[in-house]
Structure 1
């Protein structure tokens, strides 16, 4: 039995995937929910359903409180928290009775896994990462101004929304040494949060990593370029292509749900590639230092 806490767009995606597997599933939400196993209260849902897996898909600023409620119920299974793990880094964490993972599903993209294998024995020189999508077109049928992306209080903003990029940078290239950033609201979107972020990182394994994230790109782009001593790799996640020195070496066209499905299967079975709690804390810490660099206008070390 899997319990989903939160029934926004990502909660609905998880629900439909679980139902397609014909697994047992329950939902905690304040929304109208016309199906069975529907609860308003987390404690009641856990006691009634006794799930072995819980997926936390509510707002980022509610993640810590939700984990504490689960902990108080002496839950012993696995918990998947939608990214990012927390909205701030200044929390003390001790959830020893259950395993916590975080939903950075881009790790499960077959081309990302292939790139991971290809660069393991390479000396990486530079990395360029870009992700941009026009926020009003992000979630069709919804008002972007009312989304958590637009709300500072709910933990929105492009830095947290697209923290997938930060996760896979750490996953592919290891820990970081120092960071400098420029973040802000430079477009005309009706939001409280930043719509653009520019980041420069020095890492243990890579002298220079550049990252650009935004809510402004009307063409929608998501790619990374890796320069090594011998080769240049480009992974285009929108077009499903992995190139080596300009030549396509692998092309994969997957459904939007594919990485979520593979993540779900890994959560239920092996738990081999999931982002761990400690790895997710590293991403939260990096976000904190990126924001600090922007406030102070200088390089910030990873201390």
Structure 2
């Protein structure tokens, strides 16, 4: 029979799929005592103890909820449709903070119950692109641009390459109610709002057909104007080889380029002088997720936006819902004014 580790360093990961096991490994590398709590039987890595509904009943059932979650840092890495329910269970059981994998819910409406929870300010939403050193460098450069301009953001890849050992048609990505490029690639939407502010006018073209034979959208092209008058275009798709991911920002003050696949940021001044920096650590996913984990453990979602972004922290719950709400609006395939939950641009723009 298992016993509980010290609450101060206890991390419980709900869900033991590939992302759940990666979270477990990363938090363990950060010095936490980590427990996996599988939803269903899976082959585990053997390095992380697992809670079991049968053998650990004393840890999983008491008057207020799962005892193992009390005072712990809880990661919710289950199917998207379960995120809100699992996060609320953790909060009700007394978890100190909760980190929910992206997207926070299939839709903004479905996230409402979590947003209305009395402890919603203790919830993070995973946003590992914010933890890239290259992104934080890019953000500083964007803050120095005096005049607006335009940005093109893209994340394009071939869905069958994501998990070569599994039929992509059986994955959550293929399901219209949980997957699709808008939810899967919501990271791009999130970091673009950090850089340029909340969208106020949105246009979208959504492709549900294509070569993959799935119910979810295979491609989306978005166009929006931000509250800071930056024109943003975005291309997200599952149908491109080889994979490519990045952003180009163009303005009268020069051009900025982030190549996520190469971990480089290039700055071209108005007179044509070019400098390029390489951020090798960004190519190691565990290092990036380690930066996010440290920030999530040591900061709170109520910490100032500038400090959160500078430290590579995840998104707040409000920011996570704002991103998924933009996805909802994009599916309307129209151009209209949209209500934003929050302006996620750092206060001083630096």
**TM-based fold match above 0.5:** yes
1: distance between equivalents of 2:19 and 2:49?
A: 19
Corresponding residue number in structure 2 for 1:285: 325
2:184 is aligned to 161
| 1:32-111 mapped onto 2 (5 Å cutoff) | 32=42, 33=44, 36-40=49-53, 43-44=60-61, 46-48=66-68, 50-73=70-93, 75-90=94-109, 91-92=112-113, 93-97=115-119, 99-111=122-134
The 5 Å alignment of 1:111-150 reads 111-122=134-145, 123-150=147-174
Q: Count matched residues.
A: 297
Q: Which residue of 2 aligns with 1:5?
A: 14
Cα distance change, pair 12–299 in 1 and its aligned pair in 2 (3 A): same
- Output the aligned Cα RMSD: 2.0
- 1:219-263 per-position Cα deviation (integer Å, ceiling 9, x unaligned): 100010011221100100001111112734311122122221100
Which SS does the other structure have where 2:290 is aligned? helix
- Taking the aligned partners of 1:241 and 1:250, their CA distance within structure 2 comes to 6
Structure of greater Rg: 2
Q: What is the rounded CA distance, in whole Å, between the counterparts of 1:134 and 1:198 in structure 2?
A: 16
Residue 14 of structure 1 aligns with which residue?
23
Q: Which runs of 5+ in 1 are unaligned?
A: none
Q: Secondary structure at the match of 2:164?
A: coil
What is the distance in 2 between the residues matched to 1:97 and 1:244? Answer: 42
Give the whole-Å Cα distance in 2 for the aligned partners of 1:266 and 1:176: 27
The normalised TM-score by structure 1 is: 0.92
- Displacement after TM superposition at 1:124 (Å): 2.7
- Write the distance in 2 (CA, Å) between the matches of 1:290 and 1:216: 19
Find out whether 1:301 has 2:310 as its counterpart.
no
Superposition deviation, residue 285 in structure 1: 1.4
TM-score, L = length of structure 2: 0.80
Contact 1:2-1:55 within 8 A present in 2 as well: yes
